[in-house]
Amino acid sequence: MSKVIYIKANAKPEGASRTFRISDSFVESYRESHPNDEIIVLDLYKENMGFLTEEDVALHNVKPGEGKNYPVLKYAYQFLEADKFIISAPFWNLSFPAILKAYLDYVTVSGITFKYTSQGPVGLCEGKKAIHFVTRGGAYSQEPLSDFELGDRYLRTLLGFLGIRDFTTFAREDMDRSDTNVELVVSDAIKEAQELAKNF
């Protein structure tokens, strides 16, 4: 049995997010094909995720297993204990919603999800896998706009730093172009995501 964290980062109301429509369908299909897996849904806006304070940062260098009773470290330990991550975050202002960065700051903790050694930092989350669902208004996966894509690139880099190298990007682009049939794109993406979920 695997433990899965479904991380949602969008302030839009239920049903209004194109990204969530696709990722929710992925999760529904995953539940059907992996009935014994545990799925934890983390809607970051509903979690009231705030930014780290000075006191919080002081707790971000712990000995392995230490600090499990500190509320600020609960996300890091939860992250460490998970096997798979489904991240759903739209492309906002060349990156992703700031609340997702706040969450990543909570889970990137020396002594829990990575450690420092004489050879440098080492990720402690090896063997895990992640998928990032994202919709973008323009075509940012190809030149000339690819240099401006900082969200998925950051996620891939940070999770790699933590040891997670099995990382898949599920993107749909040109969603804000006047000639894009958005409903058709979303519908096709949902079908593809449902199939992909069966082997995730």
pLDDT band at 160 (very low <50, low <70, confident <90, very high): very high
Which DSSP string corresponds to 117-155? ETTEEEES-TT-EEEEEEE-SS-TTSTTGGGG--HHHHH
How many degrees, rounded to 5, is the angle at CA 124 between CA 119 and CA 129?
A: 130
Would the annotation count 160 as a binding residue?
no
Would the annotation count 135 as a binding residue?
yes
pLDDT value at position 15?
Answer: 81
pLDDT value at position 154?
Answer: 96
- Say if CB 157 and CB 108 are below 8 A apart: no
pLDDT band at 141 (very low <50, low <70, confident <90, very high): confident
Q: Is the pLDDT of residue 183 over 90?
A: no
pLDDT value at position 167?
Answer: 98
167 vs 13, residue with greater confidence? 167
Q: Is the pLDDT of residue 30 over 90?
A: yes
Calculate mean pLDDT across residues 126-142: 90
* Location of structure tokens 């969008």: 10
State which residues form the domain around 153. Answer: 3-198
pLDDT band at 96 (very low <50, low <70, confident <90, very high): very high
pLDDT value at position 191?
Answer: 95
pLDDT cut 70: percent of the chain above it:
100
pLDDT value at position 123?
Answer: 97
Calculate mean pLDDT across residues 154-175: 93
Residue-averaged pLDDT of the chain: 92
Would the annotation count 137 as a binding residue?
yes
Q: Is the pLDDT of residue 174 over 80?
A: no
How does pLDDT run across 71-91, given as a tens digit for each residue? 889 999 999 999 999 999 998
Would the annotation count 138 as a binding residue?
yes
How does pLDDT run across 35-65, given as a tens digit for each residue? 999 999 999 999 988 899 998 888 887 777 7
- Say if CB 73 and CB 112 are below 8 A apart: yes
Q: What is the pTM of this model?
A: 0.94
pLDDT value at position 199?
Answer: 96
Q: What CATH number does the domain containing 168 carry?
A: 3.40.50.360
Total structural domains in the chain? Answer: 1
